[in-house]
Amino acid sequence: MNQEQARKIKRKIGGVLYYSIAKHLPPSYSSVKVGQKRLRGFCGKLMLKHCGRHVNIEKNAIFSPRVSLGDFSGIGVNAKIYGTCEIGSHVMMGEDVTIITRNHAFSRTDIPMMEQGFGEELPVVIGDDCWIGDRVMILPGVHIGSHSIIGAGSVVTKDISPYSIAVGNPAKVVKSRKEKEAF
C-alpha cells in the first residue's frame, strides 16, 4: 500500500468516527466532559490536510478534508468550511461561521443557473491570531490578514489587511488594532 492509499484510508476512518460519533458530542465548553475535544482533535488529524497541535473542533462542524488548521486553532460550533481553506495558528472561530471557496456559475443567460455548474475554486486563507465572530460568512478567495478581528454577522467579500477590525455586510475595516485609543 502506498502513502496516498494509506492517507485515503485514514481519512475514511476519521470521517466515519467524526460524523457518526464525535460531531454529535457536547461542545468543548459544556460541563459534560466525555473526551469530546480530544476525540474531535484526533479525527481532525486523520481527516484534514494539516491539523496542528491542541486544536479545538467543535460540535456539528462540517469541513472539507482540504482544510489546514494551525496549532491552537479552532473550528466553531456548527461551522461549515467548504473547499480549500488555510487557517493559521491561534485562530478563534465563533458559532455558525461559513467559509465558501467557490460559487455557482451564472455567466450564461440561455440556460438556468442551476445547470451551469460551479466556477473555479478560490481558496480562503485566514492568518495567525485572528478572531472570527459568530455567524461570519467568508466568500471565495478572501485572505484575512494575521491578528485581525471579524465582527459577528459580517460578510467578508474582500481581503482584510493584518491587524484590522472589520464589520458589516459587506465587511469594512473600521479600525486598526495598532491604533492607540485615548482614554
Grid cell locating 45: 488529524
Instruction: Name 126's bridge partners.
Output: 87, 144
Confidence of residue 179 (pLDDT cuts 50, 70, 90): confident
Considering 24, 54, 104, 143, which one is annotated as catalytic?
104
Alpha-carbon span 86 to 161, nearest angstrom = 16
Question: Which residues in 148-180 are b (16+ Cβ under 10 Å) and which e?
Answer: bbbbebbebeeebebbbbbbeeebeeeeeeeee
For 29-87, the pLDDT digits (tens) are 999 999 999 999 999 999 999 999 999 999 999 999 999 999 999 999 999 999 999 99
147 is catalytic: no
Residue 183: pLDDT over 90: no
Distances (CA, A) of 21 to 16, 41, 45, 132: 8, 13, 16, 26
For 92-121, the pLDDT digits (tens) are 999 999 999 999 999 999 999 999 999 999
| CATH 2.160.10.10 correct for 3-176 | yes
Query: Residue 96 corresponds to which amino acid?
Result: D
Alpha-carbon span 129 to 110, nearest angstrom = 46
Alpha-carbon span 78 to 137, nearest angstrom = 13
For 119-145, the pLDDT digits (tens) are 999 999 999 999 999 999 999 999 999
User: For 75, which DSSP code?
Assistant: E
Grid cell locating 26: 457536547
- Could you tell me the pTM of the whole model? 0.92
Residue 158: pLDDT over 80: yes
Domain extent listing, the chain: 3-176
Alpha-carbon span 149 to 157, nearest angstrom = 15
Residue 182: pLDDT over 70: no
Question: Which residues in 30-64 are b (16+ Cβ under 10 Å) and which e?
Answer: eeeeeebbebbbbbbbbbbeebbeebbbbbebebb
